[in-house]
Structure 1
Amino acid sequence: MADGKARLRDRLEAKARELGFCAFGVARADAAPQSGERLRQWLEEGAHGDMLWMAETAERRASPQGLWPEVRSVVALGMSYAPAADPLALAEAPELGRISVYAQGGDYHDVVKKALKALARWLVEEAGCELKVFVDTAPVMEKPLAAAAGLGWQGKHTNLVSRQDGSWLFLGAIYTTLELELEPAEEGHRIHCGSCTACLDACPTNAFPAPFRLDARRCISYLTIEHKGPIPEEFRAAIGNRIYGCDDCLAVCPWNRFADTARRHRAFLPRAELAAPALADLLDLDDASFRQVFAGSPIKRIGRNRMVRNAAIAAANSGRAELLPVLERLTMDEDPVVAEAAQWAVTQLSRV
């Protein structure tokens, strides 16, 4: 029986790699028991900001069995999006917008889920089990489960770090009723960060109150993507020219020097128009042009208004007075959040 489980696991891993996953591991469904308590503490502190769904789904998110009582094993998978260029290079180009590396290529939701479904079909045909597949939007604790399965460990910035892929992995999970063969998950129990605090020190907004703790309310990724209202003024200067997400804490991790771009999935190669967009072009977007530019990108989910709000903040930080005419037009925008950001930018640039 054990040999049969091992053979199935090995064949499953081979199929996963054939489908584009570079990282694979298996964990028991109850392998990350501390995750639920950490989640509850984080929510009690209000560190989730206005991501209300985190609180609404807390019980289901706290453990795999809370979401699906029948689950016995979790197959954790990763796809690499390791960048070939320095993610921080555009910091010295204030007329351009900085988009997080993960959003410069194809939408990972679509790419990872398609591969997960294909792997799930294979597993059902081979083993006749029940299963569910998850990518990001479901109430699943992907990072601690991936760590428990041996894909890496959660670093001091709370993201997964891998020996082979650094900080650049998209995670997916398959919950199954099978009791699959496990492997020694040393990586899930050892944190290889040592005394390094590079990720904590790099954060422009001091979003880490302590190692392994993130206050989303101060995080630029949260502020530019999840937060719908006006961005608090205390963070606006620190945002710089970041218009969608922030890579700083990931980019400075020393483990990234081992990340091999040859393992990157081809769907995540950066699109030219997303690698270094001009702020002037972003400020000029209407709904139709926004949908056209960001079709097939995860950025499309934030909508035109949040993108233009972000671009206005970046424009204010650019020192580029030539952006004043388009910003002045935006002060009359139908969206009050966009109009407020544009008015603030006009005020800032008028002082230059």
Structure 2
Amino acid sequence: MELKRRLQAQAAAEGFARMGICRPDATPETAARLRGFLEAGHHGQMGWMAEREGWRGSAAALWPEARSVIMLAEVYTPEADPMAGLSQPDRGVVSVYAQGKDYHDLVKRRLKRLGRWLLDAAAGEIKVFVDTAPVMEKPLAEAAGLGWQGKHTNLLSRDLGSWFFLGAIFTTLELPPDPPEVSHCGSCTACLDACPTGAFPAPYQLDARRCISYLTIEHKGPVDEDLRGLMGNRIYGCDDCLAACPWNKFAVAAQEIGYQPKVGLPELAELAALDDAGFRARFAGSPIKRIGRDRMVRNVLYAIGNSGLPALAPVAAALLRDADAAVADAARWALKRLGATGHAAR
């Protein structure tokens, strides 16, 4: 217990907002829930979720020698209203988490420092994870008492609201676990009601194939036409269900300067003109870089089609013969939505 208290103090000194501990086998229901999600096809094109299903469904299977999982929360609460950009149709809206530097790098750096401190303080082994390994962070964080998975399946906290990243340190050390958190959603359905595309078939269930975050980031190729018009000007991710949560009134300010917004509300016309080199330069050091130029420009063209701004028709027309088939298709769709038949003919 003394080691745990010192670890908590060190985690706070590193900038983590909360820490909790659970056993690797503390989420026995995860495997069945994951299986149901996959069998329903709700993972869409995210085949990697099924490829390592065994590890993803059981933290104990991922590293059998681990005896404790240390879950940590790092806050990235926005200073401004994340929904304000939806009323600016000539601009693209980027999810809050992707506005600053890549959180993978920032969180992992802190985890490694904290892990080294732990190794110096006690004999043992560690492995650190930030969203890139087959680890189900949200169920583990709930088991460790950091928060609970809301009806939108994201993690919520009575102390932190919605806006925080999760990191995990697996260790062979036996550390006292924390009591798990329970749901405090009650009868509220604000997050479900806020979803533009109806991506929640039921409370606590997500169909990623209808989720704008999935569609703009993970989905390759053209997006179904019945969903394009619902995406508005969201070009990378979607914060609607997070922003709608009443628990955000307890959200605390972010401390990490790296999460300060750099991307802002970029002009759609500017982004549509990017080539591959320009895209990589524009989003260097950002999580946005992982989707590549073609997918970003595809998303931008959907936003142009939803803008209702005929002045953007020439921007779309310039991409009608783009080398990427999904981009060219999006350009045709945008022109049709804008009623710019003359441009489409050219």
Q: How many angstroms apart in 1 are the aligned matches of 2:4 and 2:89?
A: 49
Residue 178 (1) aligns with residue 173 (2) = yes
The residue that corresponds to 2:112 in the other structure is: 117
The counterpart of 1:331, out of the listed 311, 320, 336, is: 320
Any unmatched runs of 5+ in structure 2? 342-346
Question: Equivalent residues in 2 for 1:284-299 (5 A)?
Answer: 284-299=273-288
Residue 141 of structure 2 is matched in structure 1 by 146
Query: 1: distance between equivalents of 2:75 and 2:159?
Result: 10
Q: Which letter maps to 1:281? A: E
Q: Do the aligned partners of 2:143 and 2:179 also contact (CA within 8 Å) in 1? A: no
Q: Percent identity?
A: 61
1:280 aligns with 2:269: yes
TM score, norm. by length of structure 1: 0.95
The residue aligned with 1:201 is 193
Aligned AA (2:199): A
Q: Give the structure with the larger helix fraction.
A: 1
In the TM superposition, residue 148 of structure 1 has moved relative to its aligned partner by 0.6
1:340 counterpart residue number: 329
After superposition, give the CA deviation of every residue in 1:122-142 in whole Å (9 maximum; x if it has no partner).
111111211110000100010
Q: Distance in 1 between matches of 2:315 and 2:195?
A: 30
Structure 1 equivalent of residue 260 of structure 2: 269
Tell me the equivalent position of 2:221.
229
**Can you give the 5+ residue segments of structure 1 that lack an aligned partner in the other structure?**
1-5
Aligned letter for 1:322?
A
Match of 1:306 in 2: 295
Aligned to 1:20: 15
2-side partners of 1:276 and 1:99: how far apart? 7
Deviation at 1:183, TM superposition (A): 2.6
Give the drift of 1:351.
5.5
1:126 aligned to 2:126?
Answer: no
Which of 65, 68, 81 is equivalent to 2:63?
68
Give the letter aligned to residue 269 of structure 1: Q
Corresponding residue for residue 344 of structure 2: none
| Cα distance in 1 between the residues matched to 2:226 and 2:339 | 19
User: How big is the shift at 1:119?
Assistant: 0.9
Conservation of the 8 A alpha-carbon contact between 2:71 and 2:166: yes
Q: Please tell me whether the aligned partners of residues 82 and 264 of structure 1 are also in contact (alpha carbons under 8 angstroms).
A: no
1:51 maps to a residue whose letter is: M
Give the conservation status (yes or no) of the 8 Å contact 1:36–1:62. Answer: yes
Shift, 1:317, TM fit: 0.4
TM-score, normalising length: structure 2? 0.97
Q: Using the alignment, how far apart are the partners of 2:340 and 2:275 within structure 1?
A: 28
Letter in 2 for 1:174: I
Residue 3 of structure 1 corresponds to: none
Letter in 1 for 2:102: D
Matched letter for residue 224 of structure 2: P
